């Protein structure tokens, strides 16, 4: 499958609200990012997501760096969130930052730190177009790194929270892991700016999850770290 066919498949399946089957293709990563950008054209950008942060996940996909996707107009949501708007939603707990200033490619660590307006508990709602989340790396990058919906908790933290980030679904723990395993947020933002050219002021950047994504279900969704938590609702 060529990059044009890949782009057309994703666009058609998204439009028709149906899943696509993975087809092994020879599309390289730079071409996949071009497909992602072309599919996002005309939609205002609210930020970015980082994905596949862990070396184990990267090795599984045959890459040695994270991937990124775009948070587009309408993807930043407030609860309650209707699951009917997605194809096959999965959720994972994250930390996100909101930028108060722009970050240029090559910015110093000090400039990056100064550009961070705050840290938030967050939920990444993944929604791959690829059936059963079975995809090649080119397919998932072209499909906007499975970007579906994004939730930011109401509380702003001045500093990056540390500890075990946990996801609770209807009172049951659904996953978690140490937030420090995601690496230094400043370094992650530096990498992202080097890939995109710059990050605009006001952008939300979801920094990835230390936990595996789990299928979303209606009910109460909670993200916690230490004594802090963010609760929202998922409805059918």
Binding interface with Mg ion (CB under 5 A): 124, 209
Query: Residue 169 pairs with which residues in a beta bridge?
Result: 172, 221
Determine, following the binding rule CB under 6 A, whether residue 127 of this chain makes contact with ligand 0L1.
Answer: no
Residue with tokens 């991937």: 67
Please, which residue, 25 or 224, has the CB nearer to Mg ion? 224
- In this structure, are residues 169 and 219 in contact, taking their beta carbons and an 8 Å threshold? yes
- How many CB atoms neighbour CB 132 within 10 A? 10
CA distance 83 to 87: 8
Determine, following the binding rule CB under 6 A, whether residue 176 of this chain makes contact with ligand 0L1.
Answer: no
| Minimal CB distance residue for ligand 0L1 | 51
- How many CB atoms neighbour CB 30 within 10 A? 10
* 171 prior amide bond cis, ω within 30: no
- Closest distance of CB 48 from Mg ion, Å: 11
**What is the H or E stretch that residue 193 is in?**
helix 185-196
Query: What is the pattern of x (binds ligand 0L1, CB under 6 A) and - over residues 20-59?
Result: -----------------------------x-xx-------
Please, which residue, 100 or 134, has the CB nearer to ligand 0L1? 134
Determine, following the binding rule CB under 6 A, whether residue 211 of this chain makes contact with ligand 0L1.
Answer: no
Please, which residue, 25 or 88, has the CB nearer to Mg ion? 88
Pairing of strands 219-225, 164-169: antiparallel
Torsion region of 106: left, alpha or beta (phi above 0 gives left; psi -120 to 50 gives alpha): left
| Minimal CB distance residue for Mg ion | 124
CA distance 191 to 202: 18
Position among 116, 140, 190, 223 found at the interface with ligand 0L1 (CB under 6 A): 140
Please, which residue, 140 or 221, has the CB nearer to ligand 0L1? 140
Determine, following the binding rule CB under 6 A, whether residue 179 of this chain makes contact with ligand 0L1.
Answer: no
Which residue ranges make up the site for ligand 0L1 (CB under 6 A)?
Answer: 49, 51-52, 124, 126, 128, 133, 140, 145-146, 208-209, 213
């Amino acid at each position: 499958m060529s990059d044009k066919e890949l782009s057309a498949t994703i666009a058609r399946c998204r439009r028709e609200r149906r899943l696509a089957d993975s087809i092994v293709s020879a599309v390289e990563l730079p071409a996949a990012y071009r497909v992602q950008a072309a599919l996002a054209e005309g939609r205002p950008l609210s930020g970015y997501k980082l994905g596949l942060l862990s070396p184990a996940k990267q090795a599984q996909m045959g890459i040695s760096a994270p991937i990124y996707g775009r948070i587009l107009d309408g993807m930043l949501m407030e609860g309650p969130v209707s699951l009917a708007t997605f194809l096959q939603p999965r959720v994972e707990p994250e930390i996100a930052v909101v930028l108060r200033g722009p970050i240029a490619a090559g910015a110093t660590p000090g400039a990056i730190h100064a550009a961070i307006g705050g840290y938030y508990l967050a939920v990444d709602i993944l929604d791959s177009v690829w059936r059963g989340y079975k995809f090649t790396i080119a397919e998932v990058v072209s499909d906007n790194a499975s970007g579906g919906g994004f939730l930011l908790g109401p509380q702003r933290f001045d500093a990056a929270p540390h500890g075990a980030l946990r996801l609770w679904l209807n009172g049951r723990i659904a996953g978690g892991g140490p937030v420090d395993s995601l690496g230094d947020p400043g370094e992650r933002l530096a990498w992202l700016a080097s890939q995109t050219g710059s990050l605009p002021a006001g952008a939300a950047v979801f920094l990835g999850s230390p936990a595996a994504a789990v299928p979303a279900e209606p009910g109460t969704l909670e993200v916690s770290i230490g004594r802090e938590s963010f609760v929202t609702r998922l409805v059918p």
